[in-house]
């Protein structure tokens, strides 16, 4: 096997220590140098100086939690750093020490057997922190809403059975009055606004309960937490918009994502943060879909395909792509909604959603690469490209119902 890198280093990274192994190949001989460093910034700078002394140009380490990030911050720009998936570089069983792991990583790097993970630039990494924090806060706000409904159920208040959104404008007005001590269902129902006023008779029944001071205390605490979460989410949205003003190219990339049905500005920021705005790291759209783990997996043996379940990709990217796919499936007269209905009838809704999410990722790749906006093919796209088959299918169905069918083309003006 040919040696691709004659001066390389493997790092086994931990929380408080880093084991390093340098392999130098000169005149057919291999020299090995090993050393252990701490994980503080000054000690990482000593590691960089030690690597420079031996003329190392290639450095590899595994993606161990978040502990690789301080090392990356120091070595980035000084060396060619390869971040490898920990599952792809497992050592031979029975030889597990920190130094042996570092040597094994160096050997794989020496022969070019490591596949580097995608690490975006600094601004995209910052966007990931913001969008992921926003997603976590949104999930926590949803959990708090569920807890509020549980407290109301415990107090015999069935507001969630009548109002679609307990934390809407009407629901919050009712909750504030309940917390302040009001328990008259007639008064609480009169606080309904908009379309909810049609349900005032049902609200009177739903708001008649047994509310104690204990319930009011819990509702106050939970509602304050919801308001705090919403305030923090608003601050994150404001920060993202500030970045958009500072970086027009990122604002344009978000606007391109936003043209796809099912994607709003929040989802566009999340997709941009996970994928980035530079498509050069993905040779084709298929590579991006594979990296996102939104394409069928490969499991074949003896010429038989055993299963094709998708791999475990980034949970943040997969979750957001599937949320966008569900939203796109509910749009009217669009290509994505037509694709969903066509696949869901034969393969089920879950498989159809993964297929639509795959399509959204592919569309986004081409939009970002070509810097263009989305142009929908229309809800009747599949009918147009398969018109002959559709006619045969519909004629056959009518004949099965006992009808004689004759087709005549309509005259076009």
Q: How confident is the model at residue 92 (pLDDT cuts 50, 70, 90)?
A: low
Residue 408, pLDDT score: 83
What is the spatial distance between Cα 400 and Cα 46, in angstroms, rounded to a whole number? 81
Q: Give the tens place of pLDDT for each residue, 28-66.
A: 788 899 999 999 999 999 999 999 999 999 999 998 889
Radius of gyration of the chain (CA): 29
Higher pLDDT, 156 or 301: 156
The secondary structure of 311-337 as a DSSP string is P---HHHHHHHHHHHHHHHTSSS-HHH
Taking alpha carbons only, the member of 218, 236, 223, 214 closest to residue 144 is 223
Q: How many helices (H) and strands (E) does the chain have?
A: 16, 7
The number of angstroms, rounded, from the C-alpha of 105 to the middle of its chain's C-alpha atoms is 29
- Residue 107 has phi, psi (to 5 degrees) of -65, -45
Does residue 413 surpass a pLDDT of 60?
no
For the chain, residues classed under CATH 1.10.287 are 123-246
Residues 6+ away with beta carbon under 8 Å from 188: 174, 177, 178, 182, 203, 207
Mean pLDDT over 275-304 rounds to 86
DSSP structure class, residue 207: T
- CATH class, domain 7-110, is alpha beta
How far is residue 178's CA from residue 133's CA, in Å, rounded to a whole number? 32
The vertex-231 CA angle with 225 and 233, nearest 5°, equals 105
How high is the pLDDT of residue 6?
A: 87
Average pLDDT over residues 218-231: 97
Residues 277, 253 contacting (CB under 8 angstroms): yes
What is d(CA 393, CA 267) in angstroms, rounded to the nearest whole number? 39
Contact 7, 14 (CB under 8 A): no
- Buried-exposed string 121-145: b where 16+ CB fall within 10 A, e elsewhere: eebbeebbebbeebbebeebbeebb
Under the banding of pLDDT at 50, 70 and 90, the label for residue 127 is: very high
Task: Considering the chain, tell me which residue range(s) the CATH 3.30.420.10 domain(s) occupy.
Answer: 7-110
How much of the chain exceeds pLDDT 70, in percent? 98
DSSP 411: P
Q: How far apart, in Å, are the Cα atoms of 70 and each of 60, 73, 86, 123, 375?
A: 14, 5, 17, 16, 43
Extract the tokens encoding 103.
Answer: 């040597």
Give the pLDDT confidence of 227-261 residue by residue, as tens digits: 999 999 999 999 999 999 999 999 999 999 999 99
Instruction: Give the pLDDT confidence score for residue 339 in this predicted structure.
Output: 95
Mind listing the pLDDT tens digit for each residue in 306-347?
667 777 788 899 999 999 999 999 999 999 999 999 999 999
Other CB atoms within a 10 A radius of the CB of residue 334 amount to 20
What separation in angstroms does the CA of 243 have from each of 20, 238, 371? 38, 9, 20
Please say whether the beta carbons of 361 and 267 come within 8 A: no
DSSP string, 184-205: -HHHHHTT--GGGGGGHHHHHH
Nearest-angstrom CA–CA distance, 274 and 66: 16
CATH topology of domain 123-246: Helix Hairpins (1.10.287)
Confidence of residue 94 (pLDDT cuts 50, 70, 90): low
Q: What is the pLDDT of residue 385?
A: 86
Return the half-sphere exposure (C-beta side, CA atoms, 13 A cut-off) of residue 49.
7
- Across the chain, what does the average pLDDT equal? 91
């Amino acid at each position: 096997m040919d040696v691709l890198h004659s001066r390389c280093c493997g790092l086994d990274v931990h929380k408080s220590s880093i084991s390093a192994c340098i392999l130098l190949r000169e005149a057919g001989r291999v020299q090995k140098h090993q050393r252990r460093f701490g994980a503080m910034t000054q000690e990482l700078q000593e590691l960089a100086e030690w690597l420079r002394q031996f003329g190392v140009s290639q450095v590899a380490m595994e993606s161990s939690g978040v502990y690789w990030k301080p090392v990356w911050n120091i070595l980035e720009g000084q060396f060619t750093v390869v971040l490898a998936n920990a599952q792809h570089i497992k050592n031979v069983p029975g030889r597990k020490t920190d130094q042996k792991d570092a040597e094994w990583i160096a050997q794989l790097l020496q022969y070019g057997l490591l596949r580097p993970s995608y690490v975006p630039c600094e601004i995209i990494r910052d966007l990931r922190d913001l969008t992921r924090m926003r997603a976590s806060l949104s999930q926590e706000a949803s959990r708090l809403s569920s807890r509020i409904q549980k407290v109301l159920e415990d107090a015999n208040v069935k507001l969630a059975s009548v109002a679609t959104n307990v934390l809407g404008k009407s629901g919050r007005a009712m909750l504030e009055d309940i917390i302040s001590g009001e328990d008259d269902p007639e008064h609480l129902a009169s606080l309904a606004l908009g379309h909810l006023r049609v349900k005032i008779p049902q609200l009177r029944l739903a708001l008649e309960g047994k509310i104690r001071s204990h319930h009011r205390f819990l509702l106050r605490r939970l509602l304050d937490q919801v308001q705090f979460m919403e305030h923090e989410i608003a601050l994150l949205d404001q920060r993202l918009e500030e970045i958009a003003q500072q970086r027009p190219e990122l604002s344009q990339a978000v606007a391109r994502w936003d043209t796809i049905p099912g994607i709003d500005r929040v989802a566009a920021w999340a997709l941009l943060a996970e994928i980035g705005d530079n498509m050069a790291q993905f040779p084709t759209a298929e590579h991006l879909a594979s990296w996102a783990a939104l394409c069928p997996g490969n499991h074949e043996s003896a010429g038989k395909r055993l299963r094709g379940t998708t791999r475990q990709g980034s949970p943040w990217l997969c979750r957001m792509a599937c949320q966008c796919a569900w939203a796109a499936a509910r749009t009217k007269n669009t290509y994505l909604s037509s694709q969903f209905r066509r696949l869901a009838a034969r393969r089920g809704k879950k498989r159809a959603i993964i297929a639509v999410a795959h399509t959204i990722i592919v569309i986004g790749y081409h939009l970002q690469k070509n810097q263009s906006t989305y142009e929908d093919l229309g809800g009747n796209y599949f009918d147009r490209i398969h018109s002959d088959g559709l006619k045969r299918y519909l004629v056959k169905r009518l004949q099965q119902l006992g009808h004689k069918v004759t087709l005549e083309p309509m005259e076009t003006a």
